[in-house]
Amino acid sequence: MTTEIRTRRRADALTRQRIVEAAIEILDRDGEDALTFRALAAHLATGSGAIYWHVADKQALLAAATDPIIAAALSEAAANPQPQDAIRALALGIFDAIDAHPWVGAQLSRDPWQYAVLRILEGIGAQVQAMGVPEPAQFNAATALLSFILGLAGQYATRPQVAPEGMDRVEVLESVAAKWAQLDPAEHPFVRQVAAMLASHDDREQFVAGIDFILAGIQQNAVAK
């Protein structure tokens, strides 16, 4: 039996969905660095060639793993009848997905043209249209929301990597806040003022507040036109 025939038979025994599900398991358990085709092949008890039959490379695999997670987050948001509520639910769904799967945030930020990002833009755009935003302003409104979501996605995804070993989130923020409080009051009056709020703030609440600020501006623009 030739190598090509063996590879084809192994590929036929797999499905793209099984490969993606296995990749998500590895990513969630061990992180992005642990996801290699060799590790995935061992996890699936198959050869690397069978996986390459379905997925071209690691980047394609990461995109394929990200898409169903984002799709699930967006499906719940669509149930909201009011467009502003739907956008908040969409944004929070993505926030929670990234919180549960930090590698998703890194992937969304790394590849803005992947299908998962297109899903997000379509979901936002539909609700922006439902808000009555004039057509010439719809692109700017939708991409402003998208950029905010993706920017925070990248920030939250890198947070575990920049935290000193052995320190949790609160300890890191308290350390930063202490440094801010020591800044020159003449040069950094605002930063010193908000230093006390840094350690105790809730990321999720701050995220929603940012979405609400953008929505308020979009709504004002829609009414003005």
d(CA 124, CA 101): 21
d(CA 225, CA 182): 47
Are 194 and 219 within 8 A, CB to CB?
A: no
Mention every residue, 6+ apart, whose C-beta is less than 8 A from residue 204: 92, 95
What's the pTM?
0.85
The domain limits of the chain are 1-55, 66-163+204-224
d(CA 126, CA 129): 5
What was the pLDDT predicted at 218? Answer: 93
What was the pLDDT predicted at 200? Answer: 86
Neighbours of 195 (CB within 10 A): 19
Domain at 66-163+204-224: CATH architecture:
Orthogonal Bundle (1.10)
What was the pLDDT predicted at 1? Answer: 47
To which CATH superfamily is domain 1-55 assigned? Homeodomain-like (1.10.10.60)
Q: What is the pLDDT along the chain (225 residues), one digit of tens a residue?
A: 455 444 444 444 689 999 999 999 999 999 999 999 999 999 999 999 999 999 999 999 999 999 999 999 998 787 888 999 999 999 999 999 998 999 999 899 888 899 999 999 999 999 999 999 999 999 999 999 999 998 877 777 666 555 566 677 788 889 999 999 999 999 999 999 999 899 888 888 999 999 999 999 998 877 665
d(CA 188, CA 92): 32
What was the pLDDT predicted at 168? Answer: 77
Are 159 and 169 within 8 A, CB to CB?
A: yes
DSSP state letters, the chain? --HHHHHHHHHHH--HHHHHHHHHHHHHHH-GGG--HHHHHHHHTS-HHHHHTT--SHHHHHHHHHHHHHHHHHHHHTT-SSHHHHHHHHHHHHHHHHHH-HHHHHHHHH-TTSHHHHHHHHHHHHHHHHTT--HHHHHHHHHHHHHHHHHHHHHHHHHHHHSPTT--HHHHHHHHHHHHHTS-TTT-HHHHHHHHHHTT--HHHHHHHHHHHHHHHHHHHHHH-
d(CA 141, CA 17): 35
Q: CATH topology of 1-55 equal to that of 66-163+204-224?
A: no
Give the distance, in angstroms, between the CA of residue 187 and the centroid of all CA atoms in the same chain. 35
Residue matched to tokens 């940012």: 210
d(CA 169, CA 106): 19
